Amino acid sequence: MIEVDLHVHTCCSDGKLTPQEIIIKANSVGIKYLSITDHDTTEAISDAIKFAKTIPEINIIPGIELSAEFENSELHILGYYIDFHSQSLENVLIEYREKRLLRAKLILKKLRSIGISISFGRLKEIAGKGSIGRPHIAKALVEKGYARNIGDAFYKFLSEKGQSFIPRDKPTVNTVINLIHSLGGVAVLAHPFWIDNLENTLSTLKKIGLDGIEVFYSNYNSDKIIKLKKFAERFNLIPCGGSDYHGLDDSRKLEIGMIGPPVSTIALLKKSKPFT
């Protein structure tokens, strides 16, 4: 049984479920250690920790997922055991969310240029209290019949090769890793097979201060997991992982607890935490 899921999103960013609903769902499949890793926000964490006290079987690990620039490509870095109460962190995240919002508006403008009209008001309705991002635009595209599902919307319009792709202004990976460490957190590379030249990238990121890598990730087959385990051993990186669950109409059919690292990873993460 999978007891650890270190990559889950709530409605506070681009997921569908509330923190409480996420915890109930995780508990129903036997998860003991759960990290909520919303994009550019820690809003869900306090509610999650409070609610989890009613379900003592679950331990909540404060987390976040941040985008970073590395050699003209985008990486996602997960931060675990961060000080999510930090005002300096919130100041940074406000800036990140503003840039994400600007990107969404530019994407809508580009969609209009090819004859697809999506109102910003509808986008806000879809996002709810969450930080507006591409998954919300994807859902709107599905609603209007321009895509079969969210994955199809990304492929046609929102990915780097999509018709309406807009690059996002991102901090450098050095900045992101240093920020996570300054918050007492552990920095982990998310979904590594999104990256070209992974071996060289890991070598550089390790020197910068990367602590771990997602070895166990949704839809990674056994061959990919074995390869990532070898990279983790070679570069002395903590083997992490999770479902990347959003609760959306996604062609990947993600579910909480579908994959995750062994419980021993939790001790490694705690041991790796820097002193602040």
| Phi-psi sector, 2: left (phi>0), alpha (psi -120 to 50), beta | beta
Which domains are present in the chain? 4-87+173-272 (3.20.20.140), 93-158 (1.10.150.650)
Q: What is the CA radius of gyration of the chain?
A: 18
d(CA 158, CA 243): 22
pLDDT value at residue 151: 86
What is the per-residue pLDDT across 8-57, written as a single tens digit (0 to 9) for each?
Answer: 999 999 888 999 999 999 999 999 999 999 999 999 999 999 999 999 99
| Residues contacting 49, CB < 8 A, separation 6+ | 60, 62
Which tens digits make up the pLDDT trace of 139-154?
Answer: 999 999 999 988 899 9
- Beta strands in 132-206, from DSSP E residues, in sequence order: 186-189
- Percent of the chain with pLDDT strictly greater than 70: 98
What is the residue whose two structure tokens read 């036997």? Answer: 30
Question: Residue 34, CB half-sphere, CA atoms under 13 Å: how many?
Answer: 35
